[in-house]
């Protein structure tokens, strides 16, 4: 794996805008743009196959852990699950409720793969990983024998067809307060569902109503199938959550709360100790002895918030690139042993491996000068040489 500098495409900004990727120019804290035009990471085919196999293996390991937890009714306190969510978690898992996608975050040095976390409920970065990145590989010049690990778009359409019959209506919702990135991802997923032959309708989470029997939108149309780009832990704080048990075919399903919670890292390490794809992880105990270098992560957070570095029990402060957000300080933390990520021309990359259904469908990459990949980290395209 290596970082390469390439000529910028002509009219690349226009190309992004035409596909709906109109947030490519959001500023990063170094003053440059979110999309790094002229930067790419090169892989070998063998490396891509290694990453794909690792993603599929880790996904099955996660399902094994979730199955064991639900079968035994064992939900450790450090998951901090709302009591009212337990029955929905169990019901949606046992009923094989529809699931669409998720994203692993990996540290990778070209050889060793380490799973950092699994965003299995509300991953974003999908439009750029799928369509924008593929458009780049089609247009970039002077890279012979190139290809890209990216069948995300086709896989999403196929998955929608597996989930629902043609003309089924699926509502799509995000928060009114969400930024353009969230709504851009939501609109892209609506488009994939439409291409799969489904009827689609958009609304804000805040506008979901209840008519006494069903969830309804602003036109009083029944909401039976809902894709929500909104975390389940927030949904259980919404006024309408008391009706969830009566109508619960929402994507992602409620059982994904177990996978998107960073406490799953602890359970994975318990079930598969010293597995080469895992990083040692434990529930945070302020009285424990943490020799060496660790990161303390909140079990529920987004965009790299509230991550601190612990060295030989000494709190060394906030990890570079992280930030503090009070809401993420409420549910507890996990401790994950530090993983060194090699510098590439001064940048630290984190790989995103996209699961659609139960199969890995593509790769994306974010990079930054900081230890933590936050909301404003750069997106860089990738390719591999056959």
Please indicate, yes or no, if residue 272 is contained in any of the structural domains.
no
pLDDT band at residue 246 using 50, 70 and 90 as cut-offs: low
Specify whether 23 is located in the same domain as 118: yes
Same domain, 204 and 78: yes
Alpha-carbon 32 to chain mean position? 24
| Residue 47 neighbours by CB under 8 Å, 6+ apart | 1, 110, 384
Q: What is the pLDDT of residue 326?
A: 67
Q: What is the pLDDT of residue 333?
A: 92
Centroid of chain to Cα 151: 17
Residue 271 inside a domain? The answer is no
Q: Flag whether 18 is in a domain.
A: yes
The pLDDT value recorded for residue 319 is 77
Distance (Å, whole) CA 103 – CA 257 = 14
Least confident residue range of 26-35, 240-249, 298-307, 319-328 = 319-328
- 328 in a structural domain: yes
How many percent of the chain have pLDDT more than 90? Answer: 80
Confidence of residue 185 (pLDDT cuts 50, 70, 90): very high
Closest to 34 in 3D by CA, of 149, 135, 129, 110 = 129
Q: Quick one: 327 and 351 in the same domain?
A: no
Residues forming a β-bridge with 5: 39
Res 29: pLDDT: 78
Q: What is the mean pLDDT of residues 371-384?
A: 87
The answer on pLDDT for 277 being more than 90 is yes
Question: Domain containing 326: what range?
Answer: 280-337
Tokens of 352: 């995103």
Q: 346 and 320, same structural domain?
A: no
pLDDT at 33 over 90: yes
Q: Same structural domain for residues 327 and 370?
A: no
Average pLDDT of the residues in 153-168 = 98
One domain for residues 330 and 355:
no
Omega of the bond leading into 252 within 30 degrees of 0 (cis): yes
pLDDT above 90 (res 283): yes
136 with 254, same domain: the answer is yes
* Sheet with 281-283, side-by-side order of all strands: 281-283, 333-337, 293-298, 308-311, 314-318
Domain count, the chain: 2
pLDDT tens digits, 320-375: 776 666 676 677 899 999 998 888 888 899 999 999 999 999 999 999 888 877 77
- Asked if residue 231 is part of any domain, the answer here is yes
Has residue 223 been placed in a domain? yes
For the chain, give me the number of helices (H) and strands (E)?
Answer: 10, 19
Residue 20 lies in a domain: yes
Lowest mean pLDDT among 71-80, 240-249, 285-294: 240-249
What is the predicted pLDDT for the residue at 248?
66
Same domain assignment for residues 333 and 347: no
Same domain, 192 and 304: no
Determine the pLDDT at residue 328: 65
Is the per-residue pLDDT at 247 higher than 70? no
Structure tokens at 17: 């805008």
Residues 75 and 210 in one domain: yes
Q: Mean pLDDT across the stretch 121-140?
A: 96
Cα separation values, 298 from 308, 322, 351, 362, Å: 9, 12, 20, 27
Give yes or no: residues 257 and 285 share one domain: no
Residue 268 belongs to a domain: no
Residue 297 confidence class, pLDDT cut points 50, 70, 90:
very high
* 66 close to 256: Cβ distance less than 8 angstroms: no
**pLDDT for the residue 325:** 65
User: Quick one: 62 and 89 in the same domain?
Assistant: yes
Q: At what angle do helices 86-94 and 45-72 cross, to 10 degrees?
A: 120
């Amino acid at each position: 794996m290596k970082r390469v500098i390439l000529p910028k495409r002509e009219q690349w900004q226009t190309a992004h805008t035409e596909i709906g990727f109109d947030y490519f120019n959001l500023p990063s804290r170094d003053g440059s743009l979110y999309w790094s035009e002229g930067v790419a990471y090169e892989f070998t085919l063998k490396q891509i196959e290694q990453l794909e196999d690792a993603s599929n293996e880790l996904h099955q390991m996660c399902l094994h852990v979730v199955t064991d937890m639900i079968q035994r009714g064992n939900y450790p306190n450090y998951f901090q699950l709302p009591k009212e969510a337990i029955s929905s978690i169990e019901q949606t898992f046992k009923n094989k409720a529809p699931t669409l996608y998720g994203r692993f975050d990996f540290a990778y040095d070209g050889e060793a793969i380490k799973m950092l976390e699994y965003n299995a409920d509300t991953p974003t970065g999908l439009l750029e990983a799928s369509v924008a990145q593929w458009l780049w590989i089609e247009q970039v010049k002077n890279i012979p024998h190139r290809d890209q690990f990216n069948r995300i778009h086709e896989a999403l359409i196929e998955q929608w067809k597996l989930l629902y019959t043609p003309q089924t209506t699926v509502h799509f919702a995000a928060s009114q307060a969400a930024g353009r990135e969230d709504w851009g991802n939501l609109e892209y997923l609506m488009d994939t569902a439409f291409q799969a032959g489904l009827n689609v309708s958009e609304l804000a989470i805040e506008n979901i109503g209840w008519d006494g029997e069903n969830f309804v939108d602003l036109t009083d149309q029944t909401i039976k199938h809902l894709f929500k780009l909104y975390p389940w832990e927030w949904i259980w704080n919404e006024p309408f959550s008391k009706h969830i048990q009566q109508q619960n075919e929402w994507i992602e399903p409620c059982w994904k709360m177990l996978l998107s919670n960073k406490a799953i890292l602890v359970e994975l390490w318990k079930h598969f100790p010293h597995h080469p794809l895992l990083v040692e992880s434990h529930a945070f105990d302020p009285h424990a002895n943490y020799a060496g270098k660790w990161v303390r992560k909140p079990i529920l957070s987004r965009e790299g918030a509230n991550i601190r570095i612990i060295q030989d029990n000494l709190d060394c402060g906030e990890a570079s690139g992280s930030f503090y957000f009070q809401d993420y300080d409420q549910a507890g933390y996990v401790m994950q042993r530090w993983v060194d990520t090699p510098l590439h021309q001064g940048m630290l990359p984190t790989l995103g491996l996209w699961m659609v259904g139960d199969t890995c469908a593509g790769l994306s990459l974010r990079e930054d000068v900081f230890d933590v990949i936050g909301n404003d980290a750069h997106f860089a395209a990738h390719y591999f040489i056959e």
